[in-house]
């Protein structure tokens, strides 16, 4: 689903105010939306802009595209400077990519090799006791 950050018109005739919403790009301008993230009141002096920057950044980082008007409002509110276009969502994929998958045979061979290495290390440590020397002569 393609999400857009855009303005939704509210108010009466010749007395508009807008809500900044996250909506499916296929829904109509004043139709269904996902979440209200702010308001824009152009008739106030100065214009009233209230935007939840945290939610706006969440949607921007997850691929939402702002319209030109909303992008200008995000610049004014300071959210656009925090968001660097090209940012990707931060997902923890380190557990998946830590080790490549191995077949059962390969895992068994690796386990045998580790056991053999442990045994040889144990044998060398017990077979060669170190002599204590005193440096008094």
CATH of the domain at 37: 3.30.1320.10
**Number of domains comprising the chain:** 1
User: Residue 16 domain-assigned?
Assistant: yes
Q: Is 131 exposed, middle or buried (0-12, 13-18, 19+ CB in 10 A)?
A: exposed
pLDDT, position 36: 93
User: Residue 128 domain-assigned?
Assistant: no
pLDDT, position 38: 93
pLDDT, position 101: 67
pLDDT, position 66: 92
User: Residue 97 domain-assigned?
Assistant: no
Is residue 8 within 8 A of residue 33, CB to CB? The reply is yes
Q: Which structural domain, as residue segments, surrounds residue 26? A: 3-82
pTM of the model: 0.58
User: Residue 110 domain-assigned?
Assistant: no
User: Residue 11 domain-assigned?
Assistant: yes
Please report the DSSP string for 23-61 in residue order.
Answer: EETTS-TTS--SEEEEEEETTSSSPEEEE-HHHHHHHHH
Give every residue of the chain whose pLDDT is below 50, as ranges.
none
């Amino acid at each position: 689903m393609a999400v857009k950050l855009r303005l939704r018109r509210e108010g009466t005739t010749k007395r508009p105010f807008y809500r900044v919403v996250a909506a499916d790009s296929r829904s109509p301008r004043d139709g269904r939306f996902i979440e209200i993230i702010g308001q824009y009141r152009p008739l106030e002096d100065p214009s009233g802009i209230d935007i939840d920057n945290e939610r706006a950044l969440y949607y921007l980082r997850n691929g939402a595209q702002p319209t030109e008007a909303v992008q200008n409002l995000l610049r004014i509110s300071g959210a656009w400077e925090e968001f660097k276009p090209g940012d990707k969502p931060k997902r923890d994929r380190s557990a998946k990519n830590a080790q490549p998958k191995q077949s059962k045979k390969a895992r068994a061979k690796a386990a045998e090799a580790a056991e053999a290495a442990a045994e040889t290390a144990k044998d060398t440590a017990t077979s060669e006791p170190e002599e204590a020397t005193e440096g008094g002569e």
